[in-house]
Structure 1
Amino acid sequence: MKHYTKDNFDITESVGFLITKARNVLTQKLDAALKGFDITGPQMGIILSLKRGNATTPFELSKFLSIDTGLMTRMLDKLEKAGLLERSRSQEDRRVVLLNLTEKGLEVADHIIELAPDVLNERLKQFTKAEFEELQRLLKKFASA
């Protein structure tokens, strides 16, 4: 089914525009909440992904978080410089760079886990439980298509 045609297409009502706008609002709110830790929302994703074991290399993180490898490298450089993570070479394959959170990085991850739900809940406060579940379902369906 075609939902858009040249006659009804309005950029400000398009799904892409609305998803991007929602993402930007959420990123702005997360960035403000994380300011005291000197990290951004996307950097938060890296820290939590490492803490949860979703990825252990820059390439895996890039794929998992849908971030291009150049931007990933720059963000990892900043996190390493801030003392939140460290890079090391794999003993099995020296070409592979492994990422680990430092003690400071683990502490920041624990604080993030306390902050992030509050930011998300503030944005979702007007949603019923059913609306929230439907939003999740629809976003997952959209992302997997």
Structure 2
Amino acid sequence: MGPACHLPPGAEENLGLLLGLARARIVSTLESELAANGLAINHTQYVALKRLAQCSPLSPSELAEALGHDAGAMTRVLDGLAEKGYVRREPNPDDRRGVRVVPTEAGAALWSRMRGCGERTMTRALAGLDEDEREALRAMLKRIIEALATPDTPN
């Protein structure tokens, strides 16, 4: 039995399905890793807190754009993180109508604990690839993202 035994029928030939399955398994593995480490946070909250830990302060719309979420979904994610005491909204000094989101001290401490979960998940996900294959995968994924980043213009 090879690796294909864990794929649904027809998945080997369907690139879109393979990409979706890879993402879903990474998310599931990460959430299991987080839970096993006593961290009550889901994948979406994880990536939001990760981005804020690396790039804060950000407006909710900047965070939504960076993570590929709509504003409504991001508001719910941020509300959940704020209720848990991991982020706070503060006035934006450059726009009195806007807010910026920053991790709290508890959020920064949580990120320090979560970081290893993400690293272990990606190490496991990429274990079957050598460094050249990992770099090739990064390059291909970047090209796919770039190709879809701009709207298709009619001929």
TM-score (structure 2 length as normaliser)? 0.81
Give the whole-Å Cα distance in 2 for the aligned partners of 1:83 and 1:56: 17
Residue 31 (structure 2) pairs with residue 31 (structure 1)? yes
Aligned length: 136
Q: Does structure 2 retain, via aligned residues, the 8 Å contact 1:84–1:103?
A: yes
1:14 Cα offset (Å): 2.6
1:54 Cα offset (Å): 5.9
AA aligned opposite 2:62: E
Long gaps (5+) in structure 2 = 1-8, 148-155
More moved, 49-58 vs 64-73 = 49-58
* Deviating 4+ runs (over 4 angstroms): none
Measured against aligned partners, the alpha-carbon deviations of 1:114-134 in whole angstroms (never above 9, x if no partner) come to: 221111101111111111111
TM-score (structure 1 length as normaliser)? 0.87
More moved, 39-48 vs 87-96 = 87-96
AA aligned opposite 1:120: M
Q: 1:33 to 1:67 in 2, by over 3 A?
A: same
Long gaps (5+) in structure 1 = 1-9
AA aligned opposite 2:17: F
Partner of 1:130: 132
What is the CA RMSD across the aligned residues, in angstroms?
1.7
Residue 143 (structure 2) pairs with residue 141 (structure 1)? yes
1:69 Cα offset (Å): 1.2
More moved, 84-93 vs 69-78 = 84-93
